[in-house]
Amino acid sequence: MHVKWNGRHIPKSPFRVEVGQDLDASQAYATGPGLQPEGIQAGKYTDFTVFTKGAGEGQVSVKVIDPRGGEDVDIIIEPQEDGQYFVEYQPVNAGKHTIKVLFGGQPISKSPFHVMVSPPRIEPIPSKVRVFGQGKQIFKCLSLYSLVMSSKHTYDLLNILFL
């Protein structure tokens, strides 16, 4: 910017002026199951949506930090219409994760988020299930039996009603 007085530059003129974007990241917010304090499972994708309408021009970025401080989490950010961004991530480890959501390099409202990720659920393989216990035999009368079903990794109590 040139500043003159009586047609002459004042000392140190012209001045360098940086013009920034009109950005207010505090106007952006996010919501969805992937930001809930509980209910997220390791090894499964979860998601949330970032809303930036009215916050200015900028890009959304997300960091998911696991309990060990690592950031090796698969994150997908998909721009949608009207200033919305759909975010998916897949936590690998169980434990407390920190999710930092930025807009234009600045944290959005309520960021960082803290979520508790539960261990992955191991589904039993039917061919590997064994049944043992008192109720293993089938009777013709109405009876309720408790069985223990086991696979290599799990033991579940199973109540069966026989007719």
Per the confidence metrics, is the pTM higher than 0.75? no
Residues 30-71 have pLDDT tens digits of 999 999 999 999 999 999 999 999 999 999 999 999 999 999
Provide the residue type at 62 as one letter.
Answer: V
Residue-number span of the structural domain to which 136 is assigned = 126-162
37 & 113 share domain? yes
Query: What CATH code is carried by the domain that includes residue 77?
Result: 2.60.40.10
Asked if residue 18 belongs to a domain, the reply is: no
Asked if residue 37 belongs to a domain, the reply is: yes
- Number of domains comprising the chain: 2
Asked if residue 112 belongs to a domain, the reply is: yes
88 & 139 share domain? no
